[in-house]
Structure 1
Amino acid sequence: MAKSDETGLHRRRFLKGVVAAGGATIAAPNARAAQTEPAGNTTKGTTPLPNAATQSQERGHPPDVEQLTTEKTGSDFMVDVCKTLNLDYIAACPGSTFRGLQESFVNYGANKRPEWLTCLHEEVSVGMAHGYAKVAGKPMAAIMHGTVGTQHAAMAIYNAYCDRVPMILFTGNAGPLTDRRPGVEWFHSVQDGAATVRDFVKWDDYPMSLQHFAESTVRGYALACAEPPGPVFLVADSKLQEGPLEDHEARKLKIPRLTMPSQTAGDPNALREAAKMLVAAENPVIIADRYARSQGAMDDLVRLAELLEAPVIDNRARMNMPNTHYLCQSERAGTLIGQADCILSLEPVDLFGQLNAMRDQIERTDSPKVKAGVKVISISTRDLLVHSNYQDFQRYVGADLNITADAQTTLPFLIEAVQRQTSASGKSGSEMRAEKLRQAYRNALERARTEATYAWDAKPISTARLYMELWGQLQKEDWALVSDSDFSSRWPHRLWPLEKHYRFIGGSGGYGVGYQPVASLGAALAHRDAGGRVVVNVTGDGEFNMAPHTLWTAAHHGIPYLTVIQNNRAYHQEIMHLQRMANRHNRGVTTAPTGATIDNPNIDYAKIAMGYGAVGIGPIEDPNDLADSFRKGIAAVKSGQPALIDVVTQPR
C-alpha cells in the first residue's frame, strides 16, 4: 500500500465509516425523543447533557453494521484461476448472474488474458469461440446469463459438440434460495445449471467452493482439449462470485497446475496389420474427415498418399488435403469408393454414410457404395465421446480394423509401418495407377472450369461467377476462407488453390443455421492475431439473418473480415425439400416457395451492415460490378474494418 494510503483514510474504510455514522445519526433522534430531560439541565442554544439511561446505552457495543464493500471477492480468485490457463479471450452478452465475474475480469484482471469481448447475443459468444478454436488451435471462453442465456446459447453449443471443438463455457447462477432476490433471480436461476445442455457438452460441474472452482476449471480446460475435444460447462455460483474473500481464506486456496493430456496413438500391432492391408491393395482409397488440426497433419497425409499412390477423398470437415495435389480426388468420391478394395477412413464423422447410400423416398432403403470384400480400416476417436440422447454418432458399422486413437497423432506411426511393409514385400505404389490418377485430376479440374463458365453473364449472378471474381481480387493476398461451400456447389474447393491448413476450417458440425456469421467472427479474430490475413466469409442470406448483429462486435473490437452475402432471397435448402414433398404427394411444385422465401420486401444487407458500424456495399445485381465491389471490400478489410457485400445470386 502507498504511504498516502497508510497515513490517510482509505476510500473503502471511509465508506464503511460513513455507513456506521449514518446509522448512529438516524437512530439519535428516536433516542432523544424517549428521554425525559431534567429541569434546569438545558440552556437555550446548548446541547442537553445525557441522562443516566443515555450514558449507559452509549457505553454498550454499537449496533451491527451491514458490510457493503470488500477489498477482495471470490470472483477475483476465479479470475486468478482463469489467468493460469491459455485463454486470450472471454466473450459474453452482459448478464447479472455473472456481474461479479465481469467486474473482476475487467478491473481486478485489468481486462487482459483473457480480454472481455462484448457480444449482442449468447449464440454469438459461443459461436465466436467455435470459430476461434478451429483457427487458433486452443479454446476460447464464453459466459452466459443463467437459464435464459444458456437457452440462447444452446444451439451454438450443440454445433461445437458435434464438430468436436474445445471451449470453456461458464454460466452464472444464484444457488441458495435465501440468496435470491425476489423476482428475476428466481426466473434466471436453477437447481442444475447444466441440465439444458448436459447431453451435448463433454463435461460439466457446479463447484460448491472456490477450491472446487479452481480444480474443476483447470480440469475442464484439460478435458476440453483431450481428443476428442469438446465444450465443457461450469456453473459459477453468484454467492461464490460476490462473497468477500479474506486474506486468511485466500491463503488456503491452491490453483492446480494445468497438465495437458497427451493424445492417443494407435496400437503398433494394429498399425502393422493396417500397413499390410494397404500395401497389398490394388485400389486403396483414403477418406479424410475430421482429421487435420495442423499443417503438419496435412503434410503427413500427403506423405502417406504418395507412399501408397492412393487417392484421397477430403470430406471437408477440416482442411485435410491440399486440392492442388493430384491425389486429392474428392470430386470423384463415388467412383473411387466403388472401385476400392481397401479403404482407410481417418476420423470419420459418419463411417456408415461413407460406405452406404440411402434413398430419400417414402420407404427409405440403403445400399452399399462399396464392392463385396472391401477391407475397411478406421482410425478415430469417435467412440470415446458418445452420448445417448443426441444421435450425432450416426449408424453403426463394423470396420475390419477399428483403431481407437487420434488419427493425427497416429499417422506418422502408420507411415513408418507402411514404409517397412513396402520394403519387406518389395512392392511399391503402382506407377500406372499414379498416372491414371494424374489424368483424372486434370480432367476433373478442366470439367470444373468449364462448368463455371455456364451462366457467366446471367442475372441473378451465378455462384461460380461470384467465387471466380472474388478469387481474381483475392489471389495476391494471404487469405483464409472461413465459411463452408456446400451451399455454393463447392466452387472454392473445385477452383481455388487450397494448399495450406489455415485456408479453410470446415463446417458447423451440427448444421445449426446461424453458425456461419458467428463462427466467422471468432475465426477472423484468431487470424487477426496470427498476422492479419484477409479473411473471407461467404454466407447465405438466411444464415446471416440469424445473427446480423455479429458485425457490431466486429466493428467494436476491431476485427476485420469480409462477409459476402450469397443472396438468393430464400431458404433454398427448404424450398428443395418442399418441392420433393410436393412431388411425392402429386401436388406440383409451384407453391414450394411459400414460407421459405425472404422477399417482399427485399432486405438491404448493406444498410444493415452500415447500421452496425461496418462497411456496406450493394446489393450487386450485375456480374460486371463484382470485381470493383470485391476490390473495395478487401481494401476496407486491409484497413482494419469489417465489410459486407450483398450479391444477388442464383440459388446455388
Structure 2
Amino acid sequence: MTTNDARADAGPPAEPLTDRIPQWGSDALVDLLQRAGIRFIALNPGASFRGLHDSLVNYAGDAGPQMLLCLHEEHAVAIAHGWAKVTGEPMAVALHSNVGLMHATMALYNAWCDRVPMLVVGATGPLDAAKRRPWIDWIHTAADQPALVRNFVKWDDTPTSVAASLESLARAWDITRTAPTAPTYVVLDSAVQEQQLTDRPALPRISEGRAADQPTASAESVARAAAILADAASPVVLLGPGRRDESAWADRIRLAEALGARVITDLKAGSTFPTSHPAHVPGPGFFLGEHARAALRGADAVLALGWIDLAGTLAQAAVPDSVAVVSATLEPLLANGWSKDHQGRVQADVWLPAEPDAAVTGLLAHLAPGTPAAWTPRPAPEPVAGPGRIDLAQLSATLQSVLADVDTTLVRLPLGWDGESWDFEHPLDYLGYDGGGGIGSGPGMTVGAALALRDSGRLPVAVLGDGDYLMGVQAIWTAVNQQVPALIVVANNHSYFNDEVHQEKVAVVRGRDVSRKWVGQRIADPAPDLAGLARAQGAVGHGPITDRARLADVLRTAVRDVRAGATVVVDVVVETGYTPAMAAGLTREH
C-alpha cells in the first residue's frame, strides 16, 4: 500500500518477502522493521529520509510497514501515542531531520510523560560534510540532533553505517518495549540510507510485540508488601495506569476484594477498575476529590500501583507518616535532572520495582481470596428535556443515552469532566489523558486509538476542548484518508478556560477586577467554525449545537455515521465551569 489512497489494513501484518535482496541501505532497514512486525509508520514526508521512503514504497510493497501520511509531525507522534494507549505496543514514526523533530517535540514529551512505547526514526542530511547539497543539507544537519529531545526519550543514537544503523534500531526496539516504556529515537544518516550495498547485511535478532521479559520485584519484597497489606484494617489502593486486557482488570478486582480495600482511580490514567464496584471511591478526577481525600485520611496502609504523583497525593490528603506505604512502580528508573515529571520523592515502606499489574499478580499469590462483590452498574443520568443551554453534565448525560447500547471507548475527556458522570466497566472504556498536558494532542491521539480499535466492535469517542481541537484539527485528515471511524465531540466553551481559572485566582489575591479574567482567553470575535474545519479535512461536521433540545438528535446522527465508517466531529457549545476538585487542584499553591 503505497499511495495516499491506500487504506490501513486492520488485519495482521503481511509476511515479508524473504527472497528479496536489499540493494540499498534503506532496504536493509525496512527488512529490520518488517522483522519487528511493525504494522504502521506515521510520517510527514521529508527529504532526509527519502531513501527510507523509497524502500517503504518500492521495496517493502504490501508487506509493510504501511505509511500513515500526516499533515504535521506532531500529529504523527500523537497518532502513535493513541495506538500505544490501546495496544500497549509501539508504532513507528519517521521525523524529517532537525526541523521535523522540532515540530514533534511537544508530542514526544507527552508520550514520555505517559510512558508509552514508540520507535521514532529520525533522519539527517549527510553527516559527512563533503556529501551535503548546497544550502538545504546544511540547515537540515545538526552536530547532535538528538540533543533536542534527549531529556524526554528513553534512548537515542546517531549511527554512521548500515550495520550500525541496524544495530541501533534493534536496540531502540528492545528498549522502548521494556518497562518502564517510553519513546526511543534513532537518527538515520541520509547518505547511509542511500548507500548502495555490495552484500546482504546481517540482521540483528529481534522479537515482535511486547518484550517477553520485564523487570520485576524480588520475591522477598513482594512477601513483605503482602504481609503489610494483609495486616491492615483499612487499606486503600491507588490505581494508576494499567494494562488494557481483561485478565489484568479481573486481577485488580480480586486484589481489592482480597484486601477489603477502598480503591481510588484517576481520570489521567484511564479506566483501571469498575467505578460502580462497591470498593471504588466516588469521584475520580484529574485531581484528588474530597471522597478520595477522606478515604486516604482513614487508611492505615496505602498500596500505590503506578499512581501518578504519589507524594503530592499523600500530602494533599494529609496522610500521616505512620501510615505504611507500598509503591509498585518503575518510575525511579526514568527520572532525570531536566524534566520534573517524576514528581515528589516518596519514602515507601516497600518499593516494588515492577510493572503495577505484575505486582498485583505477585501480591495475589500471598493473599487469601476475598469475597467477590456483587454489584450492578449504576443507571446513566437522564438528559434534561427541552430547550436550554448545555453544560458538560448535560453533554455527558445525552451522549450516554445515545450510546446506551454501543460498546464505547472514551479516548479523551476534557479537564472540566465530572468523574461521577460516567461509569467505566471495562479496561477499554476510557484511555486517560496525554501525559504531559501538551494541548493539541487530542485529535491525533484519537486517530491512533481509533485505528487500533477498528474492527474491535468498540466505537471510539473523544470529548475534546475547543483549544485542544483547534491546535490539532489537521490530524483528522489522516483518519479520513485511512477510513478510520471515530467520533470527536468538541466541548466548545469558546475559551482557554483553564487560564481563566488561573487569572481569577491572581485577581482575587491581588484585589483586582475578577470580571476581566476572560481578556486574552476567549476564542471569539470571530468564533472559529469548528465543524467547517472538520469538513475541510474531509470529515463529517455538525454544529455549532447551542440548544440541548437538538443535542440528542445530532449525536444520534453522528453515531450512525461513525458506525457506517465515517470520521465525525460535533461542535457542542457548552457553559464554562469546572468541578470543585478540578478548580481547587489547578489553583492550589502546594
Q: TM-score, normalised by structure 2?
A: 0.89
| Partner secondary structure for residue 226 of structure 1 | coil
Does 2:388 match 1:462? Answer: no
User: Which stretch has the larger CA shift, 577-586 or 161-170?
Assistant: 577-586
8 A Cα contact 1:100 1:242, kept in partner: yes
The match for 1:607 among 525, 532, 539 is: 532
Q: 2: CA distance between counterparts of 1:179 and 1:615?
A: 47
Q: 1: CA distance between counterparts of 2:311 and 2:386?
A: 41
Q: 2: CA distance between counterparts of 1:212 and 1:581?
A: 54
Aligned positions, number: 546
Structure having the higher Rg: 1
Letter aligned with residue 575 of structure 1: E
Q: 2: CA distance between counterparts of 1:565 and 1:330?
A: 26
8 A Cα contact 2:88 2:116, kept in partner: no
Does 2:304 match 1:345? Answer: yes
Residue in structure 1 matched with residue 511 of structure 2 by the alignment: 586
Does 2:585 match 1:634? Answer: no
| Partner secondary structure for residue 548 of structure 1 | helix
Residue in structure 2 matched with residue 495 of structure 1 by the alignment: 421
Does 2:313 match 1:354? Answer: yes
Shift of 1:295: 1.9
Q: 1: CA distance between counterparts of 2:112 and 2:537?
A: 30
1:113-132 alignment runs, 5 A limit: 113-132=64-83
Q: 2: CA distance between counterparts of 1:112 and 1:466?
A: 43
Residue in structure 2 matched with residue 298 of structure 1 by the alignment: 249
Shift of 1:71: 8.4
Residue in structure 1 matched with residue 324 of structure 2 by the alignment: 375
Does 2:364 match 1:412? Answer: no
User: Which stretch has the larger CA shift, 231-240 or 468-477?
Assistant: 468-477
The match for 2:403 among 461, 471, 474 is: 474
Residue in structure 2 matched with residue 314 of structure 1 by the alignment: 265
Shift of 1:322: 1.3
1:183-582 alignment runs, 5 A limit: 183-246=135-198, 249-250=199-200, 252-258=201-207, 260-316=211-267, 317-331=269-283, 332-357=291-316, 369-371=318-320, 373-419=322-368, 459-490=388-419, 494-528=420-454, 530-582=455-507
CA deviations over 1:607-647 (Å, ceiling 9, x no partner):
11111100011110110111110111111111111000000
Pick closer, same or farther for the CA change 1:347–1:71 going to 2, 3 Å. closer
8 A Cα contact 2:392 2:416, kept in partner: no
8 A Cα contact 1:210 1:253, kept in partner: no
Q: 1: CA distance between counterparts of 2:423 and 2:505?
A: 35
Pick closer, same or farther for the CA change 1:112–1:632 going to 2, 3 Å. farther
Letter aligned with residue 423 of structure 2: P
| Partner secondary structure for residue 55 of structure 2 | helix
1:145-156 alignment runs, 5 A limit: 145-156=96-107
Percent pairwise identity = 35
Shift of 1:532: 4.3
| Partner secondary structure for residue 195 of structure 1 | helix
Q: CA RMSD in A?
A: 2.2
8 A Cα contact 2:176 2:182, kept in partner: yes
Q: 2: CA distance between counterparts of 1:190 and 1:398?
A: 42
| Partner secondary structure for residue 506 of structure 1 | coil
Shift of 1:588: 1.7
8 A Cα contact 1:293 1:318, kept in partner: no
Pick closer, same or farther for the CA change 1:172–1:340 going to 2, 3 Å. same
| Partner secondary structure for residue 626 of structure 1 | helix
Shift of 1:397: 1.9
Q: 2: CA distance between counterparts of 1:235 and 1:466?
A: 45
8 A Cα contact 2:412 2:433, kept in partner: yes
Does 2:53 match 1:106? Answer: no
CA deviations over 1:524-549 (Å, ceiling 9, x no partner):
00001x52421101100000011111
Q: 2: CA distance between counterparts of 1:486 and 1:457?
A: 27
Q: Which has the higher helix share?
A: 1
Q: 2: CA distance between counterparts of 1:497 and 1:531?
A: 21
Shift of 1:267: 1.7
Q: 2: CA distance between counterparts of 1:257 and 1:390?
A: 31
| Partner secondary structure for residue 274 of structure 2 | coil
Residue in structure 2 matched with residue 15 of structure 1 by the alignment: none
| Partner secondary structure for residue 501 of structure 1 | coil
Q: 2: CA distance between counterparts of 1:603 and 1:213?
A: 46
8 A Cα contact 1:456 1:465, kept in partner: no
Unaligned runs of 5+ in 1: 1-69, 358-367, 423-427
Pick closer, same or farther for the CA change 1:267–1:601 going to 2, 3 Å. same
CA deviations over 1:575-615 (Å, ceiling 9, x no partner):
11111111111112122111111001111111111111000
Q: 1: CA distance between counterparts of 2:358 and 2:162?
A: 36
CA deviations over 1:435-480 (Å, ceiling 9, x no partner):
9xx9xx99xx79x95xx87x87674311111111111111211221
CA deviations over 1:322-366 (Å, ceiling 9, x no partner):
113111214221110011011100012211012012xxxxxxxxx
